[in-house]
Amino acid sequence: MSKEIIPISLSQEISLSDSEKKEFTRRRKSLVSELRCITGLPEVVSALNQDTVYKLVLAPEGAKLYKDAQGNLKGVFYKDGKIVEHAKFQEVGPSMLKAAKAVGAQVLLVSIAMQLNRIEEQVSKIFKEFHGDRLAEIETGKSLFRQACGMHDSEKREQLALHAITELTRGFEKTVSALSRQISELPEQKLSFFDNWIGDKSKEAEESHKMAVESFSACLSALQTLARCHLFLEEREVALSSVDEGLSKIEKAGVDIAYVRSRLAPKINGHFPEDGWKQFIEYRKTFDSSSFSTLIHPEEDVVEIEIKPSELMEKKHAEM
């Protein structure tokens, strides 16, 4: 079962463009407007605390969850993990779920991007600046996406977003290939005091780790922006697939090897180089390809909407 959660507002942990924020607000308002039209719902929420945030659970037609003996679908309001109110209402048809999932898709992808961003932030502590020439295509793709977000002309926005996807994909493929090579060249054993008699082996090892970590960070950054590009074009499944495929390629580049070998390296800029690799490995243990597959091809769609009853009562108050 796939469950998507629609919050009151998007998390501030990841930097989004004004266009992305406005699109979330627009879609959420549209969804709330549709919810107001559901028979029986406004009456139920009128008895709830108007400024408390509840979760309204919507299940699709034919779902086993929240369906009573008479076959009526039920909305369930949660607070502090407990059901506080049931609401019988008309069928949640395809259009309602489509509207809900359109908002949920953005939240889901923002959540994934946030988690990748946390890893990237950990990784980027190792180096102070990118070698821009080596990662130019990824940076170009990110720049094109930022431009697309600022465009008002829908056709130009789409063209820029598609161009960004091309640059990001090309840059990612080149960088993940370089990452595989760089990981294979990392020192396999701890350096001894005598290694620095012949040459500055410690400095060479540090540079090797920096280059690998830099490529790793760039790959994560490219995947985040690719997901946002596809979501921008309303391609939820493609966004999820591209992220999963990208993460799998990073894994195959040798993340487990990088983690082991980086543990032999000294601190770089005051940080242990293995931290970012370890964080990525732990993330993939909890969010692997099967998790993405469930999101892409859910057996059953359930949407949880964080909502204040006052939002659903706005129309009623306006009419009084």
**Can you give the pLDDT of all 320 residues of the chain as single tens digits?**
456 778 888 877 667 888 888 888 888 888 888 777 665 666 767 777 777 877 776 665 544 444 455 544 455 565 666 666 655 544 445 555 566 666 777 777 777 877 888 888 777 766 555 555 668 899 999 999 999 988 888 899 899 999 999 999 999 999 999 999 999 988 876 555 444 444 456 667 777 888 898 899 999 999 999 998 998 888 888 988 999 999 999 999 999 999 988 887 777 777 777 888 999 999 998 888 888 887 777 665 667 788 888 887 765 444 43
Would you state the pLDDT for residue 63?
Answer: 44
pLDDT, tens digit, for every residue of 188-234?
Answer: 765 554 444 444 566 677 778 888 988 999 999 999 999 989 988 88
Cα–Cα nearest to 97, from 131, 51, 147, 62 = 62
